[in-house]
Amino acid sequence: MVVQEAEKVTRARRRLGEYAEGPDLAGLQQILCEPARLRIVEALTAGELSVGDLAAVIGRKVPATSQHLRVLRELGVVEGRRRSNIVYYRLRPGPRSERALRMLDSLLGRNDVPG
């Protein structure tokens, strides 16, 4: 392969960074390509919510919301805390939820993404 402009190629590779390949990209795809999961992540930016409250926010039934939360939990984006018989969810602090939020902000045009 012949590279025409090595400096631009290097900059482009840096921009791709962690999104270039691997399981994190597949995880982001599972979040970004499912509107209900996107809305759950967005709702949890306001703070911790119970499964029932999240279902009401996103307009889904509790069992469907629970399934989406299971996927998000397995991806390391949310975490649950049981209080009596109610589970409350919040965004899990860390790089996975931060990446998901950055991508969400970028998709919604809420930040300046250099071009």
Residue 49 lies in a domain: yes
User: Which one, of 25, 41, 29, 52, lies nearest residue 91 by Cα?
Assistant: 41
Residue 100 lies in a domain: yes
pLDDT of residue 109: 77
Residue 12 lies in a domain: no
Residue 14 lies in a domain: no
Lookup result for tokens 């889904």? 60
CATH of residue 64: 1.10.10.10
For residue range 25-52, what is the model confidence (pLDDT) as tens digits? 666 777 777 889 989 998 999 999 999 9
Lookup result for tokens 């939990």? 73
Percent of the chain scored above 70 by pLDDT? Answer: 85
Mean pLDDT of 4-24: 71
User: Tokens standing for 92?
Assistant: 């899990």
DSSP E strands in 1-115: the ranges are 49-50, 78-83, 86-91
The structural domain count of the chain equals 1
Range of the domain at 94: 21-107
Residue 28 lies in a domain: yes
